[in-house]
Amino acid sequence: GNDPGGMLKALWNLPEQCEEAERIAQAIDVNFTATEIKNVMVTGLGGSAIGGDLLRVYAGDKAAVPVIVNRDYTLPAFVDASTLLFAVSYSGNTEETLSAYAQAKEKGAKIIVLTTGGKLGQLAEADGYPVIKVPGGISPRAATGYLLIPTIVIMAKIGLLPDAGDEIKDLTGHLRVLREHLKPAVPVEQNLAKQLATKFYNRLPVIWGVSGTTEVVAQRWKGQINENAKAPAYWAVLPELNHNEIVGFEKPENVLKQLEVVILRDRADHPRVQKRIEISKTIIKDAVSGVTEVYSSGNSTLARTFSLTYTGDYTSVYLATLYGIDPTPVKMIDFLKQKLA
Ligand code: F6R
């Protein structure tokens, strides 16, 4: 059919996926308290790490402890028994994550594993750590509900975050509304994701986000374009980009003309950053192919940021369609894993 790897179906099911993820995490018993935890770490790669970044931004203005994302074989020196460590791997077989897990165990961190199974699931069960087991069968990048929501629920359970039940309800409600606007049956004239895919087609997407609000969403859009459309994309974050990247819109003119810039905005963006965006647009607009702003929608921060990733998810799949490509297989990732085996 026109959804060979089931990517569109997995996208459509995201609200239900979030609800299921919440139920699965609620059933997990955790035998330590907030006072024992000084920092929270999410270790993982790719689709299994981006949920950690979304958690980091979500918790940023709510949690009394920092959330750090680790994408490596090794862990930073500060990790110890006061670290709550989520080891996240959808497959359970990512070697960097298995290595970080072994180190976390050595350091006596409070480990919780989030996986469909694999080696990581087996090890954690044998070692007696809680395992949040989520359903398999989809791409890790289509499983962001399974890979994000449980970390929020567990942090709230322990008392490291306020109860997130209402925000999750707000999120799933909003995703249900949004998918009706983004689904394949909605023609391009009314479909923002299809319009964005058309802009990106045969261009180089450059996604700008804002620190503390849409920064991870920009990173996610970039990754989704890479993995689903098999095309390059770049991302940067304000205000930082006003201190370097903004200088780079003079040369080479023919390359700059290929850039399609999308700025991801949120109503909670810092007012000074909003002003910076207005000025930045005037600096780049004549040099590049186009500049489009996309605003997040929804009530809670979780709904706004996570629903803006949803728009990017659909955009990347429609871009794959324009390129005549099946979004699901990630041959190069598989090739690397196989070469390293
Ligand atoms: C996303 C994807 C990759 C994986 C990454 C880690 O769909 O395929 O980004 O998420 O290679 O693998 P897992 O998630 O199995 O630990």
* Cβ contact 316:277 at 8 Å: no
Spans of all domains in the chain: 7-163, 187-322
* Cβ contact 220:263 at 8 Å: no
pLDDT score of 16 more than 90: yes
- Name all residues whose Cβ lies below 6 A of ligand 1: 44-48, 89-91, 94, 97, 139-141, 227, 330, 333
Phi, psi values for residue 30, rounded to 5°: -125, 130
Alpha helical stretches, state H, 159-186: 165-182
Is 243 in the active site?
yes
Please, what is the average pLDDT of the chain? 97
Residue 291's pLDDT is what?
98
Residue 83's pLDDT is what?
98
pLDDT average, residue stretch 277-297: 98
Is 337 in the active site?
yes
- pTM of the predicted protein model: 0.97
Residue 8's pLDDT is what?
96
Residue 167's pLDDT is what?
95
User: What ligand 1 atom has the least distance to the C-alpha of 141?
Assistant: 7
What is the tens place of the pLDDT at every residue in 253-267?
Answer: 999 999 999 999 999
User: What ligand 1 atom has the least distance to the C-alpha of 46?
Assistant: 9
Beta bridge partners of 95: none
Residue 144's pLDDT is what?
97
- The 8-class DSSP code of residue 63 comes to -
The fold adopted by the segment(s) 7-163 is Rossmann fold (3.40.50)
% of the chain at pLDDT higher than 70: 100
% of the chain at pLDDT higher than 90: 96
* Cβ contact 64:161 at 8 Å: no
What is the tens place of the pLDDT at every residue in 193-239?
Answer: 999 999 999 999 999 999 999 999 999 999 999 999 999 999 999 99
Q: For residue 267, report the distance from its CA to the centre of ligand 1, in Å.
A: 31
Nearest residue CA, atom 11 of ligand 1?
46
Q: Looking at 167, 227, 230, 260, which residue is catalytic?
A: 227
| Shared fold status for 7-163 and 187-322 | yes
Answer yes or no: CATH 3.30.420.10 is held by domain 187-322: no
What is the tens place of the pLDDT at every residue in 137-175?
Answer: 999 999 999 999 999 999 999 999 999 999 999 999 999
Is 174 in the active site?
no
Out of 45, 88, 220, 338, mutate this one to test ligand 1's pocket (max ligand atoms within 8 Å of CB): namely 45
Element containing residue 49 per DSSP (H, E): none
Query: What ipTM does this complex have?
Result: 0.98
Residue 341's pLDDT is what?
86
pLDDT score of 183 more than 90: yes
DSSP labels for 140-154? GGG-HHHHHHHHHHH
pLDDT score of 1 more than 80: no
Count CB atoms within 10 A of the CB of residue 339.
Answer: 7
Element containing residue 9 per DSSP (H, E): helix 7-12
Out of 94, 120, 134, 335, mutate this one to test ligand 1's pocket (max ligand atoms within 8 Å of CB): namely 94
The whole-angstrom separation of Cα 203 and Cα 260 is 6
pLDDT score of 2 more than 90: no
Out of 11, 42, 48, mutate this one to test ligand 1's pocket (max ligand atoms within 8 Å of CB): namely 48
What is the tens place of the pLDDT at every residue in 48-96?
Answer: 999 999 999 999 999 999 999 999 999 999 999 999 999 999 999 999 9
Q: For residue 47, report the distance from its CA to the centre of ligand 1, in Å.
A: 5
318: Cβ contacts below 8 Å, ≥ 6 apart: 193, 194, 196, 197
